[in-house]
Amino acid sequence: MKTISEYSIFVSELAKNRENRIFLNSDEEHGLIVYVNLLKSAKKQIRIFAGRLCEHIGNKPEFVEAISEFIENNGQVSILLNNYDEKIIVNSPLFKRLAYYISEKKKVKVKKTEVTARLGDNGQVHFAIADDAAYRLETDVVERTAQCNFNDSTIATKLVSAFDQIFNSEEYSHDIPLMNLFSYDVK
């Protein structure tokens, strides 16, 4: 079994080389490594379908820093939450930062939905896709186990399609007014 340091190097190399190789990912600490590398390797867009994204990985400074750097490099962020809770979101450094970027007219959109994403007959899934090629597909949202790949456009585009279908639907998704929650004025 790899140490956390060895795993971090392994994932960084896969991301840097944009290797088409499925690898497994489990628990919060290992998930954070993959998310940070997805953000670092993305050039244009990141899509995230999650429960709340502000209690575990999304609450870590490394994640907030990585998503901030991506946005500041003109990256587009689309987040869809299916377990939205305003009382928790208002205490999130991540969402406070995203509200700031929205106020600065950066390409950030955060929505909520009642839809539960599923993979076949299996249980609920969460996922993140970078540039229609790299992904982290969490197949157990409690244990945070996932399969990942930094260059598989076949699976990534299927995830993008599912995400966009929900995200772009006025029936199934609704904007979260982050600037109102954090009292940012529209410029």
pLDDT at residue 118, as a whole number = 87
pLDDT at residue 184, as a whole number = 61
The arithmetic mean of pLDDT across residues 48-73, rounded, is: 94
Percent of the chain with pLDDT over 90: 82
The arithmetic mean of pLDDT across residues 81-103, rounded, is: 94
The tens digit of pLDDT for each residue in 62-84 reads: 999 999 999 999 999 999 999 99
Give which of 115, 55, 56, 102 is closest to 76, Cα–Cα.
Answer: 102
Which tokens belong to 6?
């060895």
CB 70 within 8 A of CB 77: yes
Average pLDDT, the chain: 93
The tens digit of pLDDT for each residue in 21-36 reads: 999 998 889 999 999 9
The arithmetic mean of pLDDT across residues 125-153, rounded, is: 94
The arithmetic mean of pLDDT across residues 124-137, rounded, is: 96
pLDDT at residue 103, as a whole number = 93
